[in-house]
Structure 1
Amino acid sequence: MSKPVFPSQEWVKALEVELNRSAAYNEAGKNWEGDFYFVIEPDKDTAALPEPVYLYMDLWHGACRDAYLVTDKDAQKPAFVMSAAYSKWKRVVTKQLDPIQGLMTGQLKLKGNMVMVMKNVKAAQEMVNACTRIDAEFLS
């Protein structure tokens, strides 16, 4: 079985599975209500990513109700949009960059209710922990 490539449909589906079987995420995200676009933007370090990739995740009370690679970015109007260059996302999903620290230092950008995000820091950390459990390949 081949490893899912970050970012891809296979990778985001693997993350959905990891989140839904994580008791820690279920507990940490129990008050969360809101869906996301995670936007992975091209950067100079990643020639293999010529245009932005949108990953949609419907996160609700400690569960991921759906997750997929978006083909039409206008198809959903998520409550939150988090975006960053591929190299920054790679650091997040490999637990080298805390997403909240990334937001505070401008390495990641957020559209949506920042207060809601700050009240759910543990959920964000558990999501990153779930990402690290995916044996993924990365673009070069």
Structure 2
Amino acid sequence: MDRRRPVAPGRPDGTGAVRRICTSHRMTAALHAFPSAEWVAAYGAAINASDDYRTASTEWTHGAVALVLPAAPSIGVPEDVAIWLDLDRGVCRAARLLPRQDAQQAPFILTAEYRYWKQILKKELGPIAGIMQRKVALQGSLPIVVRFIKSAEALVDAATRVPTRFLDEAK
């Protein structure tokens, strides 16, 4: 099995109901709406394709991370949603879009308004800076998050590789 190619969420060993995807820039024509199940699946694959994330996160055994987006009806997000990332030792074992209440058991929950998530995805705001500036609310251990700052940066880098259409921008 070719372990260099990214996989959509599935088992960490690459088996099961996963699909291999190409992440070259030639395949960026299809934009995924943020947030959407398609965007989250592509994000999970981008995380698994990231050597930087894998290297920075080999010691991450602290569980899942939930990225929560409060409802923004004016742009088409009628209810609170969460992106669930099941992360373990440099691998994204699953990436799912869930209702907010289904993500409350995550050991780490980051909550921010749409505009701040957009700034993070565009690398205009760092995730740790967002926490310190209170633009991003953290539930979980700040010392652990700070210890894994390179992992957080690599997660943002992976997100920037997902062809993204922001809901508040013209189509």
TM-score surpassing 0.5? yes
Deviations 1:10-58 (A, max 9, x none): 11111110110111100011111220111012359x5322321111110
CA distance in structure 2 between the aligned counterparts of 1:77 and 1:56, rounded to whole angstroms: 10
The equivalent residue for 1:35 is 64
Determine if the alignment matches structure 1 residue 81 to structure 2 residue 109.
yes
Runs (5+) with no aligned partner, structure 2: 1-28
Greater strand share, structure number: 1
Give the 3-state SS of the residue equivalent to 1:115 in structure 2. Answer: helix
Aligned length: 139
**Structure number with larger C-alpha Rg:** 2
- Residue 64 (structure 1) aligns with: 92
Q: Does the 8 Å contact 2:81/2:100 carry over to 1?
A: no
Q: Which runs of 4+ in 1 moved over 4 A?
A: none
TM-score norm. by structure 1 comes to: 0.91
> In structure 1, what is the Cα distance between the partners aligned to 2:127 and 2:100?
25
Aligned equivalents of 1:70, 1:37: Cα separation in 2: 9
1:123 to 151, 155, 159: 151
- Root-mean-square deviation (Å): 1.8
Percent identity, please.
35
Deviation at 1:72, TM superposition (A): 6.6
> Which structure has the higher relative contact order (CA within 8 Å, separation 6+)?
1
Task: Check whether the contact 1:43–1:87 (CA below 8 A) recurs between aligned residues.
Answer: no
State the shift of 1:77 in Å.
1.2
- Indicate conservation of the 8 Å contact 2:30/2:163, yes or no: no
Please give the TM-score of this superposition, normalised by the length of structure 2: 0.76
Q: How far apart in 2 are the matches of 1:114 and 1:40?
A: 20
